[in-house]
Amino acid sequence: SQTIHQWPATLVQPVGSPLSLECTVEGTSNPNLYWYRQAAGRGLQLLFYSVGIGQISSEVPQNLSASRPQDRQFILSSKKLLLSDSGFYLCAWSRGVTNTEAFFGQGTRLTVV
Amino acid sequence: GESVGLHLPTLSVQEGDNSIINCAYSNSASDYFIWYKQESGKGPQFIIDIRSNMDKRQGQRVTVLLNKTVKHLSLQIAATQPGDSAVYFCAENIRNSWGKLQFGAGTQVVVTP
């Protein structure tokens, strides 16, 4: 069976510090990978998606970047965090075809102070 | 821009009653829809999906109805239980968008005894 791991679960970082959130998927190959952000009481906003190693598409301009160094590894990064980067970050994967559901990790609660 | 939106931000339901959660979408190119359940502090979990060539699909205690004429989607939960308390999101997949999902704002369902 497929599993998705996302860590850490919670993170408190000072403004201006770097960020690295990691997500790995097991039990599947060549998945589509996604990073979403969720503000409190809001829906999910797609930040980045990847259809293959080294292939990253950004959905919204922001202070964050993403990388996919391996087939089942997706990393969300920032060189200098802003207060507005606080939120709940979710990694997800789907099979590399259309009309299929996405499976989510448990999320990382990031608080920038 | 076109988006998925929800009519009711909060729904209070008595235990044992049926719940109906509504969702409106505006993109006529959407051909696949999913309902997710998100418990506090966790990632969304898949509940049920429906393709645009269907108007109804049933699962265990849940039914999704799709009305393409008015671009409306609903999730019905039979005999609502305390464990059904969560935020429910509808999501749409736009045709030829490689599986990217667009989410609505969500509906908070509160089950009262």
Name every chain B residue with its beta carbon within 8 A of the beta carbon of A57: none
CB A76 within 8 A of CB A19: yes
Which DSSP state fits B84?
G
Percent of chain B with pLDDT over 70: 89
Q: What is the pLDDT of residues B54-79, one digit of tens each?
A: 999 999 999 999 999 999 999 999 99
Res B2: pLDDT: 35
Topology of domain A3-112, CATH: Immunoglobulin-like (2.60.40)
The Cα-based distances of B78 to A6, B21, B81 in angstroms read: 33, 12, 9
**B6 pLDDT above the threshold of 60:** no
Extract the residue ranges of chain A whose pLDDT is less than 50: none
Q: What is the mean pLDDT of residues B4-27?
A: 82
**B95 pLDDT above the threshold of 80:** no
Cis peptide preceding A61, ω within 30 of 0: no
Res B105: pLDDT: 78
**B8 pLDDT above the threshold of 50:** no
Which DSSP state fits A106?
-
Q: What is the pLDDT of residues B19-29, one digit of tens each?
A: 999 999 878 88
With b meaning 16 or more CB within 10 Å and e meaning fewer, what string describes B72-88? ebbbbbeebeeebbbbb
Residue range B4-112, CATH number: 2.60.40.10
Tell me, yes or no, if B93 comes closer than 8 A to chain A by beta carbon.
Answer: yes
Q: What is the pLDDT of residues B40-55, one digit of tens each?
A: 889 999 999 999 999 9
Instruction: Measure the N-to-C terminal CA separation of chain A; round to a whole number of Å.
Output: 38
Tell me, yes or no, if B83 comes closer than 8 A to chain A by beta carbon.
Answer: no
Among partner residues B31, B99, B104, which is closest to A43 by beta-carbon distance?
A: B104
Res A79: pLDDT: 96
Name every chain A residue with its beta carbon within 8 A of the beta carbon of B105: 42-43
Res A47: pLDDT: 93
Distance from CA of A62 to the nearest CA of B (A): 19
Name every chain A residue with its beta carbon within 8 A of the beta carbon of B104: 43
The Cα-based distances of A88 to A7, A9, A44, B98, B105 in angstroms read: 12, 10, 9, 24, 14
Domain locations along chain B: 4-112
Position with higher pLDDT, A14 vs B30: A14
Q: What is the pLDDT of residues B80-91, one digit of tens each?
A: 999 999 999 999
Q: What rounded mean pLDDT belongs to chain B?
A: 88
Res A97: pLDDT: 67
Comparing alpha-carbon positions, the chain A residue that sits nearest to B34 is A101
Res B43: pLDDT: 93
Domain locations along chain A: 3-112
With b meaning 16 or more CB within 10 Å and e meaning fewer, what string describes A27-59? ebeebbbbbbbbeeeebbbbbbbbeeeeebeee
